[in-house]
Amino acid sequence: MVHYYRYRLSAFKVELKELRRQLAEFSLLLATLFFVYLPGLALGVFFALGKIVQYESELDVIYMTFGFLLLQSLLLHTLKSAVLDTAHRNYHGTLLKSRIHQWVADQGLLLLCHVLFLFALFLAVSMGLQNLLQSPQLVMFMLAQLVLATTLLYRPISVFVVLTVACLLVFVCESFVTYYVALAVVLVGSLLLPRQYKAVKLSKVTAHSFWWQWAIEQPWAVIWRLGVTILTYWCIWIIVTERPDLKSYYAVMAQLFTVLWWSSLLIDTHKQVIKYRSYWYALSQFTQVQRSQCMFVFSLTFMMWFGGLVLLGSGIFELLTVLVTPVMMWVILRAARYMALTWAVAVVALMLTKVLIA
Amino acid sequence: MIKVENLSKVFVHKPIFEKYHIEFSAPKVCLEAPNGLGKSTLFSIIAGLDRAYAGIVSYDGERLKTPQDKVALASDNIKFPAFLTAKQLLTMTQQSWQCPFPDQLIELLGFSSFLDTTFSALSSGNQKKLQLINALMRQTPYVILDEPSAALDHQSTLHLIEYLKDYQGQILISCHEPKPFFDMGFVPQSLFSS
């Protein structure tokens, strides 16, 4: 069976390489813009894990757990097809007598790319058994990480349910034991849900409601953006709680990130417009559907941006960030490869003006 | 009558048509040519879905700004949104062109039980039926059916031919098994005859 494991590893590497190629330009730009914060990012993960080990209030553990579980789900969902080798899943059946090898390979590759769990494992090992036994919440947290990651591979709908409930429980639970038990109960309960996601069908589809039907059918395009937006606001909220003096800068950055996540939805919708171009022409609705995709993306961006204003407060620069949306949308429709650059220019221009005025 | 004059069309640096002329004057025409010579491309141009060409296409002597208003095309070249159901797709066409819902056609082609199935989940035969219903329901003065009998069962092909017999408007088809269509009155015409 070594040949099978070797095949899975090489398929995994090939897909990761492709993913890296796709994200290279954007990652490089983010790294260039925020290179000062990169070491802090890795330290931030340990800082957050440290908050789980040595907490001031049990709520800290709950907040950190939710943030980590959401972040890991977003990261692992991106890597899921590489881990499972989804494109060639049927081919595995022609190589294997028993599915156990497939499962072992899945879990091995999952562990290999589950960076956040590896961070926690590193911390747990360096703490030693004696200290670890005194921090049962870290063990519970790591267990939650593993179980949710495995569930994500085979039953993503359960992960969605667990994360939604986890988000709501943050405002209800005061003890982390209750929180973890509640998550476990919800996870078990969610296993009763149908494995396959069955989308609701709108009775009438027009050039406008087409996008709602598309979002219902392919919810990942919206869900990951919603997840990243929650994470962005969550991180900024924690930072500004620690450093209220920097609130106005971080709030503007949070809004700019939200604009980036949501205006980039136009890349996905525009792909649909191009893919079904002849269909829209045949209906004489091409112009309408082009317009409606812009309205759809702008309204979602505006909603999320407004949520940020309510959460983090508003000022002149926070309000100005919404003007970046139409610019981003215009660039995406004409030359999507300049999207990241446009966003970077907007960030530098706004932040520089803010610093100069301050 | 559809007339194509001086048509030049290049596809990925390869010229498909150069100063090409053709005229379809019979009410029911079956365009004949081996695969890959440009039948489907010509159909897309006539239907107004492909605008990247040079030349003149006229419809009863008139040049149309938006030919899709008067020409309906059923072709694999039109990709339907895969996640919409057949009913949603037909309703879109109904709303876009203000035409009645094609209950009779649906019944005729035995498609009723597939209305709530998404396009991607339809078999190739049913996808073809949907394409045909989607084009014919508009009752346009010109209708183009690219390989209408491909993947269709024998019974449905007969029903389709029966339906086309009374169609009020010019019909252009391409077909690799054209005999039943010739029997019904379709006139063969070669892609490069004129």
Residue A293's pLDDT band (cuts 50, 70, 90): very high
Cβ separation B80–A276 shorter than 8 A = yes
Phi-psi map region of A209: left, alpha, beta (phi>0 left; psi -120 to 50 alpha): alpha
pLDDT tens sequence across A41-85:
778 888 889 889 888 889 889 999 999 999 999 999 999 999 999
Sign of CA dihedral A185, A189, A195, A197: negative
Residue A112 vs residues A23, A154, B42, B50: alpha-carbon distances, Å: 20, 17, 53, 48
Contact B2, B58 (CB under 8 A): yes
CA distance B100 to A337: 44
**Is B68's Cβ below 8 Å from some Cβ in A?**
yes
Q: How far is B105 from chain A (nearest CA, A)?
A: 19
DSSP assignments along chain B, one per residue: -EEEEEEEEEETTEEEEEEEEEEE-SSEEEEE--TTSSHHHHHHHHTTS----EEEEEETTEE-SSGGGTEEEE-TTSPPPTTSBHHHHHHHHHHHHT----HHHHHHTT-GGGTTSBGGGS-HHHHHHHHHHHHHTT--SEEEEESTTTT--HHHHHHHHHHHHT-SSEEEEE-SS-HHHHHHTPEEEETT--
Find the mean pLDDT for residues A266-272: 95
ipTM metric: 0.81
B5-19 pLDDT per residue, tens: 999 998 877 888 999
Asked if the Cβ–Cβ distance from A272 to B81 is below 8 Å, we say yes
Contact between A253 and A322 under an 8 Å Cβ cutoff? The reply is: no
CA distance linking residue A211 with residue A288, whole number of Å: 12
Structure tokens at B188: 């063969």
pLDDT at A208: 92
How much is the pLDDT for A253? 92
**pLDDT at res. B176:** 85
Residues of A in contact with B97 (CB under 8 A): 283-284
Residue B120 contacts A where some CB pair is shorter than 8 Å: no
- CA–CA min distance A96, chain B (Å): 29
pTM of the complete model = 0.81
Q: What is the pLDDT averaged over residues B53-73? A: 93
Of B47, B79, B91, nearest to A204 by CB-CB distance is: B91
Measure Cα distances from A96 to A12, A90, A101, A143 in Å.
18, 11, 8, 30
Q: Residue A61 in contact with residue A52, Cβ under 8 Å?
A: yes
> What tokens appear for A119 in the block?
């961070």
Chain A residues in contact with B73 (beta carbon < 8 A): 282
Does residue B194 surpass a pLDDT of 60? no
Residues B167-189: what's their mean pLDDT?
92
pLDDT of res. A97: 79
pLDDT in tens, A109-167: 999 999 999 999 999 999 998 889 889 999 999 999 999 999 999 999 999 999 999 99
d(CA A255, CA A349): 14
Q: For A246-250, what is the mean pLDDT?
A: 88
Residue B38 contacts A where some CB pair is shorter than 8 Å: no
Mean pLDDT of B24-50: 92
Superfamily, domain B2-190? P-loop containing nucleotide triphosphate hydrolases (3.40.50.300)
What local confidence, expressed as pLDDT, does residue B193 receive? 65
pLDDT at A40 over 60: yes
Angle at alpha carbon of residue A131, lines to A126 and A137, rounded to 5°? 100
CA distance A279 to chain B (A): 5
What residues have CB less than 8 Å from A140, skipping those under 6 apart? A176, A177, A180
Confidence at residue A38, expressed as pLDDT on a 0 to 100 scale: 73
Residues in chain B with CB shorter than 8 Å from the CB of A282 are: 47, 49, 68, 72-73, 78
